[in-house]
């Protein structure tokens, strides 16, 4: 394979709802470029991109696949991505290295929720989009209805470049209003005739052609002047305007396809090469804000956007050459770690097929193997460059579960596999919670996690259990309380003795400590001698005051009392959850000249705190999340009702491009398997995001239930 210069490279990412036909389109593009001589199909499990066992079982893309094809003396890098929101991490990583999105739209359904979600991500990443209406040969294809839904969603940006002469099983031709020709296809191998537009379609073609010329002219002043002067633009002038508009994300050209029958695919590829942005039109910034030009004559720098472990190859690192030329045997440095990496081999990638190449230029995408330490989201540079490119930002998790190996001896192996899974897919997150005493696994949905479980069971032969995770509740108090506790133990020899009297009150932001209290009918005036303040790692504060007068407790025992209180804050008195936002005053106590020691005062402090806590109007607080649901209007009632059953506080509703947007605050305890329920309620047409908001007090009935559950657990223990 020859080395392609930057201007002869195009990088595209295939986007679209599940079952829109992205993988079939990718297969046909490789066929047209003669990278493969025979097209596979999803049904026969023979496609280049969906080549893993699990993808073939489900007959859908689960992982992003890098592919290449050679066409019109250009190299076209294609990333085929999953359509399900559960696997959106693969889409986000592809956006980092692709310059143009090809949004594949199912002509049966038009805009689907997946279309909308992925378009939003494309917009966030400033990626130009070409629309490819696929499956026009399906008996339920509806071109006009689909175009209408696209215009409702994307507005005036939609530019019809082609329209079919008919849809359904007899779809064999379309009119191209850029070239003002009709293309008729003779077989299912892309063999086509270029014909004059039939009389019956000329008026419609003229209307679309005029609209296309106007949209092209709007993007460039000289084109606008030409258009006003002549009333028309040439094909090259329209193409120039479309290129400018596409690059600026102001135009979405629409093409007609049947990827399965190889109708329109070649024409789409021609357009990508003639009009889509070159790699050097994409700006990439470092963390410091420096723009690095995509220039083959500049110093070499690559960005790793994905790592996988592949059979026979080991760890494979996928990268884009951000600048310069990468050659086999080149030494690069990781500026974040200082580690040196030698590029032992470079591959051009078409799924499992990897073609060895000796050199790759700026803007191109490839992979290498067996780097020592470089991972996803890291930059490698030649020379003395310290560029560190902005990292890929992945979406927050939507689904959490606890995981445990069925055999205790397998726990270490499980941890290693889960950490490797996170390295390959950063939207999988794994964390051992000391608080919950559980390993918490998070992902984008239940299907996402179940795919990982399938690999654990089938690939790694490791049996695991998934179960509902505990909720990280917090405990605090609402009023002032006092308590004392005497720890006394005598069993021959030196004994143990310590007595502690404490007062506690809630910490309220902006309200300083007082020294006068009326509690249990007594008035206390405390001498605030010393203060220690701690910000707890789980949130909130502890303020600790030494108010001892007259030497009733020696100063050397005060740290031991604090340690006992800290221990009880780590395992709260109500449910064993972390306690927070408490002010503690140690104001009295007793010592024994022989038997008092640190352990005695630690235990006395711990138990005095526990007793005071239970008298101080204790309350349990729960984590609450901001939830935003994107839902079709006909499912709004069901979704709203379900949220209300989850103790949601609805904060707002709005409409957005044909969908309803629901905003609510929902307790984490009520969000267990919400992604699965939402999918069931809306037939997979809705999606949501959830981000942590704050801690709020649980309702009284929920608190009573939690207290009873904890008491029952303690009795069992």
Q: From CA 508, how far away is CA 526, in angstroms rounded?
A: 19
Q: Do domains 6-209+250-281 and 620-702 have the same CATH topology?
A: no
Q: From CA 353, how far away is CA 348, in angstroms rounded?
A: 9
Contact call for residues 661 and 655 (beta carbons, < 8 A): yes
pLDDT of residue 490: 78
CA dihedral (660, 665, 670, 675) positive or negative: positive
Strand partners, 496: 489
**What is the crossing angle of helices 143-154 and 113-124, to 10°?**
40
Query: Between vectors from CA 136 to CA 131 and to CA 138, what angle results, nearest 5°?
Result: 140
Looking at residue 482, the DSSP 8-state letter turns out to be E
Phi, psi of 561 (to 5 degrees): -65, -45
Contact call for residues 475 and 580 (beta carbons, < 8 A): yes
Contact call for residues 117 and 684 (beta carbons, < 8 A): no
Statement: 399-470 belongs to CATH 3.40.50.12780? no
Q: From CA 531, how far away is CA 545, in angstroms rounded?
A: 5
Residue 656's pLDDT band (cuts 50, 70, 90): confident
Phi, psi of 465 (to 5 degrees): -115, 135
Phi, psi of 687 (to 5 degrees): -145, 170
Among 206, 366, 332, 183, CA closest to 257 = 183
Number of other residues whose CB lies within 10 A of the CB of residue 700: 9
Residue in this structure with the two tokens 């296309």, named with its chain if needed: 212
What would you measure as the largest C-alpha separation in the chain, in angstroms?
112
In words, the CATH class of domain 6-209+250-281 is alpha beta
Indicate the CATH number for domain 620-702: 3.30.70.240
Q: From CA 42, how far away is CA 47, in angstroms rounded?
A: 6
Four-CA torsion 675, 681, 683, 688, nearest 10 degrees? -40
| Average pLDDT over every residue of 311-321 | 92
**In the predicted model, what is the mean pLDDT of the chain?**
93
Contact call for residues 498 and 487 (beta carbons, < 8 A): yes
Q: From CA 647, how far away is CA 668, in angstroms rounded?
A: 10
Statement: 284-381 belongs to CATH 3.40.50.800? no
Parallel, antiparallel or unpaired: strands 353-357 and 346-350: antiparallel
pLDDT in tens, 329-372: 999 999 999 999 999 999 999 988 899 999 999 999 999 999 99
Parallel, antiparallel or unpaired: strands 173-176 and 252-256: unpaired
Residue 384's pLDDT band (cuts 50, 70, 90): confident
Residue 634's pLDDT band (cuts 50, 70, 90): confident
Q: From CA 684, how far away is CA 636, in angstroms rounded?
A: 14
Q: From CA 694, how far away is CA 172, in angstroms rounded?
A: 57
Residue 133's pLDDT band (cuts 50, 70, 90): very high
CA dihedral (105, 110, 113, 116) positive or negative: positive
Q: From CA 677, how far away is CA 637, in angstroms rounded?
A: 14
CA dihedral (359, 360, 362, 366) positive or negative: negative
Using a 10 angstrom Cβ sphere, with 0-12 exposed, 13-18 middle and 19 or more buried, the burial of residue 453 is: middle
**First vs last C-alpha separation in the chain:** 68
**Cα atoms in the 13 Å half-sphere on the side-chain side of 359:** 12
Six-digit token pair at 669?
């305890």
Give 351-398 as a 3 state SS string. CCEEEEECEEECCCEEEEECCCCCCCCCEEECCCCCCCECCCCCCCCC
Q: From CA 350, how far away is CA 333, in angstroms rounded?
A: 27
| pLDDT for 685 beyond 90 | no
Kindly list the domain boundaries of the chain, sorted by start residue.
6-209+250-281, 284-381, 399-470, 475-617, 620-702
Contact call for residues 11 and 98 (beta carbons, < 8 A): yes
pLDDT of residue 485: 97
Six-digit token pair at 71?
């066409």
| Average pLDDT over every residue of 65-93 | 95
Using a 10 angstrom Cβ sphere, with 0-12 exposed, 13-18 middle and 19 or more buried, the burial of residue 500 is: buried
Contact call for residues 543 and 531 (beta carbons, < 8 A): yes
According to CATH, the topology of domain 475-617 is Ribosomal Protein S5; domain 2 (3.30.230)
pLDDT of residue 684: 79
Residues 6 or more apart whose CB falls under 8 angstroms from that of 510 comprise none
| Average pLDDT over every residue of 210-222 | 93
pLDDT of residue 658: 64
pLDDT of residue 567: 94
Residue in this structure with the two tokens 């037939």, named with its chain if needed: 683
Phi, psi of 86 (to 5 degrees): -65, -25
What does pTM read for this prediction? 0.87
Among 492, 483, 491, 712, CA closest to 616 = 483
- The more confident residue out of 113 and 518 is 518
| pLDDT for 388 beyond 60 | yes
pLDDT in tens, 541-563: 999 999 999 889 999 999 999 99
**How is the beta sheet containing 429-433 ordered, strand by strand?**
429-433, 438-443, 399-405, 464-467
Q: From CA 26, how far away is CA 47, in angstroms rounded?
A: 9
| pLDDT for 283 beyond 80 | no
Residue 657's pLDDT band (cuts 50, 70, 90): low
**What is the crossing angle of helices 199-217 and 221-230, to 10°?**
140
Among 300, 298, 282, 294, CA closest to 379 = 300
Looking at residue 595, the DSSP 8-state letter turns out to be T
């Amino acid at each position: 394979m020859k080395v392609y210069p930057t201007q002869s490279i195009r990088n595209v990412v295939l986007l679209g709802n599940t079952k829109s036909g992205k993988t079939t389109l990718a297969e046909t593009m490789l066929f047209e470029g003669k990278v493969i001589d025979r097209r596979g199909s999803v049904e026969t499990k023979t496609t280049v991109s969906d080549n893993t066992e699990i993808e073939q079982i489900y007959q859908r893309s689960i992982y992003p696949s890098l592919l290449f094809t050679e066409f019109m003396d250009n190299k076209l890098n294609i990333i085929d991505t999953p359509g399900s929101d559960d696997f959106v991490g693969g889409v986000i990583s592809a956006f980092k290295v692709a310059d143009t999105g090809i949004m594949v739209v199912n002509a049966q359904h038009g805009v689907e929720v997946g279309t909308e979600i992925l378009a939003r991500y494309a917009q966030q990443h400033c990626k130009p989009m070409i629309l490819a209406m696929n499956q026009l040969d399906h008996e339920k294809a509806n071109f006009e209805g689909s175009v209408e839904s696209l215009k409702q969603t994307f507005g005036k940006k939609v530019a019809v470049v082609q329209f079919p002469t008919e849809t359904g099983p007899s779809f064999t031709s379309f009119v191209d209003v850029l070239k003002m020709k009709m293309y008729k296809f003779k077989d299912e191998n892309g063999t086509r005739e270029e014909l004059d537009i039939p009389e019956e379609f000329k008026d419609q073609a003229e209307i679309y052609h005029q609209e296309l010329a106007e949209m092209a002219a709007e993007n460039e002043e000289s084109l606008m002047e030409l258009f006003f002067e002549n009333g028309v633009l040439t094909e090259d002038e329209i193409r120039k305007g479309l290129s400018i508009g596409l690059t600026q994300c102001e135009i979405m050209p629409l093409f007609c396809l049947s990827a399965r029958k190889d109708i329109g695919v070649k024409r789409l590829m021609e357009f990508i090469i003639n009009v889509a942005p070159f790699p050097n039109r994409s700006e990439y910034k470092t963390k410091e804000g420096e723009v690095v030009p995509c220039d083959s004559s500049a110093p070499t720098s690559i960005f790793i956007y994905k790592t996988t472990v592949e059979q026979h190859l080991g760890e494979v690192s996928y990268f884009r050459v951000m600048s310069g030329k990468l050659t086999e045997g080149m030494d690069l440095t990781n500026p974040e770690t200082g580690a040196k990496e030698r590029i032992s081999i470079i591959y051009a990638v078409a799924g499992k097929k990897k073609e060895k190449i000796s050199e790759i230029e700026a803007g191109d995408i490839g992979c290498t193997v067996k780097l020592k330490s470089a991972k996803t989201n890291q930059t490698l540079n030649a020379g003395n460059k310290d560029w560190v490119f902005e990292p890929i930002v992945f979406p927050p998790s939507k689904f959490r579960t606890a995981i445990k190996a069925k055999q205790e001896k397998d726990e270490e192996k499980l941890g290693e596999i889960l950490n490797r899974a996170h390295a390959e897919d950063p939207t999988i997150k794994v964390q051992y919670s000391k608080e919950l005493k559980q390993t918490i696994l998070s992902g984008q949905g239940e299907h996402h996690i179940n795919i990982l479980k399938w690999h654990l069971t089938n690939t790694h032969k490791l049996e695991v259990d998934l179960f509902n995770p505990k909720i990280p509740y917090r405990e605090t108090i609402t009023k002032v309380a006092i308590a004392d506790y005497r720890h006394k133990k005598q069993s021959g020899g030196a004994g143990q003795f310590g007595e502690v009297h404490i007062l506690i009150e809630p910490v309220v932001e902006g309200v300083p400590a007082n020294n006068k209290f009326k509690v249990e009918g007594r008035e206390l005036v405390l001498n605030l001698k010393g203060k220690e303040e701690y910000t707890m790692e789980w949130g909130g504060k502890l303020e600790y005051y030494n108010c001892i007068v007259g030497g009733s407790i020696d100063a050397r025992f005060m740290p031991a009392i604090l340690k006992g209180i800290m221990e009880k804050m780590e395992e709260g008195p109500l449910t064993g959850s972390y306690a927070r936002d408490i002010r503690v005053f140690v104001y009295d106590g007793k010592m024994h000249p022989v038997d008092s020691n640190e352990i005695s005062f630690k235990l006395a402090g711990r138990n005095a705190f526990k007793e005071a806590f239970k008298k101080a109007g204790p309350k349990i607080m729960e984590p609450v999340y901001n939830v935003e649901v994107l839902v079709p209007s006909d499912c709004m009632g069901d979704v709203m009702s379900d949220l209300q059953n989850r103790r949601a506080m609805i904060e707002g509703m709005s409409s957005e491009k044909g969908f309803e947007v629901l905003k609510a605050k929902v307790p984490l305890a009520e969000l267990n398997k919400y992604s699965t329920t939402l999918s069931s309620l809306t037939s997979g047409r809705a999606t949501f995001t959830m981000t942590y908001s704050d801690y709020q007090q649980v309702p009284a009935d929920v608190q009573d239930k939690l207290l009873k559950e904890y008491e029952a657990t303690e009795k069992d223990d």
